[in-house]
Structure 1
Amino acid sequence: MNTIAPRPEAIIFDIGNVLLRWQPEEHYDRWIGEERRRAMFDAVDLHFMNELVDRGGDFRDIVYDTAEKYPEFRTEIRWWHDRWLDLASPVIDLSVATMRALKAHGISVFVLSNIGRGSFAITRDAHAFFDEFDRLYISGHMGVTKPSPDIYAMVEADCGISPKRLLFADDRIDNINTASARGWQTHHFTDPRHWADDLIARGLIKETDL
């Protein structure tokens, strides 16, 4: 028998590809050309490097230490830190508008993201809208990353909201699957318009809010 999902008490946004576009390869293609970018990404596991930052490691130290191990790409690897704001861009404006619409209707909005302490500090300083969120769950501070069930359990314990009343938007299906397994409502984010339409269909915001 189909059941109607309860009205969410809090809406949880991922950052990468939900609030800020996260496609590092595209930026490196522009900076150094696709051929050299492919060679660098084949030689260096840059996404694992970033995962170490996301788990709580020092942003600059991890990036610069990695760069020293690959002198042929030293300058380009350092850009992961030095050009971070360019790498994590642009802002997905409709998602920010959606967040503000939810707040205007009295609905709590949280962030849950795999991002380091240092990288998020830079990001937050550059984008004031992060201060509008009610709670920020940042993996670098929590010491664990999605899709580990532990990070979802930490969110539940901190906010005190029943899992079935949390609605979570993330671009990665593995993160969505873990949230769903815990009883969270979810939206697999592929497009900001689809996300806004989902929230409208749920009666949480209106088209005129956007």
Structure 2
Amino acid sequence: MTEIRHIVFDIGKVLIHYDPNLPYQRIIPDPDERAKFFATVCTHDWNIEQDRGRSWAEAEALLIGEFPEHEDKIRAFRLHWAEMVPHAYEDSVAIMTSLIASGHDVTMLTNFAADTFGEARKMYPFLNAPRGVTVSGEVGLIKPDVAIYQRHAKDFDLSPAHSVFIDDSFPNVEGARAAGWQAVHFTGADQLKADLLALGVGV
């Protein structure tokens, strides 16, 4: 079994909760109307481009030009972003901080807009505990593109074969494996402990 020397955490839905529906339950109370809005206006594909580095001003202008009748609802996405990340997963955070405390090399790799990540760091100080982080919006690359894993390994001097990546998205797990990393699909803290133990990392 290859020794694990580096442990890399995703953030959203691994360390902190993320759900864009939360503020929009108030803004668009009707569930069918809200689902249609996310399917046709503020879509996942639109939001991911902010994770790739597009500014919110450009993103909003693009949608408002196409859907002027939804201007307030479009601007609400960034305006009320903090409500989308209402709490941390304390059990997962405890695993990460325990690994750091026991001397493991821990970093983070996340698809996140640069400015909202700065906001998240203020909301959740434990995001400052690892050795460092690669933020997609800062480097212009997003998971599961192999290039972002290669960038992270280079920037933090990781040996891919001795690195394990933890992410809730299976395509992102596959991206890490394609980059030569080991990886586990996060489904909960208890399973994460078991997966790490199977790789020789006790928590």
TM-score, normalization by structure 2:
0.90
139-148 vs 64-73, which deviates more?
64-73
Q: 1:23 to 1:164 in 2, by over 3 A?
A: same
The Cα shift of 1:82 comes to 1.0
The Cα shift of 1:90 comes to 2.3
TM-score, normalization by structure 1:
0.87
Give the structure 2 partner of residue 199 of structure 1.
Answer: 196
Give the structure 2 partner of residue 16 of structure 1.
Answer: 12
The Cα shift of 1:179 comes to 0.9
Give the structure 1 partner of residue 177 of structure 2.
Answer: 180
Following the alignment from structure 1 to structure 2, what is the Cα–Cα distance between the partners of residues 88 and 68? 28
Give the structure 1 partner of residue 78 of structure 2.
Answer: 81
187-196 vs 114-123, which deviates more?
187-196
Check the 8 A contact 1:95/1:196 in 2, yes or no: no
Alignment equivalent of 1:97, drawn from 82, 94, 97: 94
Q: 4+ residue stretches of structure 1 with deviation over 6 A?
A: none
Check the 8 A contact 1:101/1:205 in 2, yes or no: no
The Cα shift of 1:38 comes to 1.4
TM alignment of 1:119-130, pairs within 5 A: 119-130=116-127
186-195 vs 102-111, which deviates more?
186-195
Following the alignment from structure 1 to structure 2, what is the Cα–Cα distance between the partners of residues 172 and 19? 13
Following the alignment from structure 1 to structure 2, what is the Cα–Cα distance between the partners of residues 59 and 15? 21
Check the 8 A contact 2:23/2:80 in 1, yes or no: no
The Cα shift of 1:60 comes to 4.5
Q: 1:15 to 1:67 in 2, by over 3 A?
A: farther
Q: 1:64 to 1:18 in 2, by over 3 A?
A: farther
Following the alignment from structure 1 to structure 2, what is the Cα–Cα distance between the partners of residues 191 and 60? 35
3-state SS of 1:11 partner:
strand
Give the structure 2 partner of residue 25 of structure 1.
Answer: 21
TM alignment of 1:131-150, pairs within 5 A: 131-150=128-147
Alignment equivalent of 1:108, drawn from 92, 105, 108: 105
Following the alignment from structure 1 to structure 2, what is the Cα–Cα distance between the partners of residues 86 and 67? 22
Amino-acid identity (%)? 31
> Gapped runs of 5+ residues in structure 2?
none
RMSD of the TM alignment (CA)? 1.9
Aligned residues: 202
Following the alignment from structure 1 to structure 2, what is the Cα–Cα distance between the partners of residues 77 and 55? 19
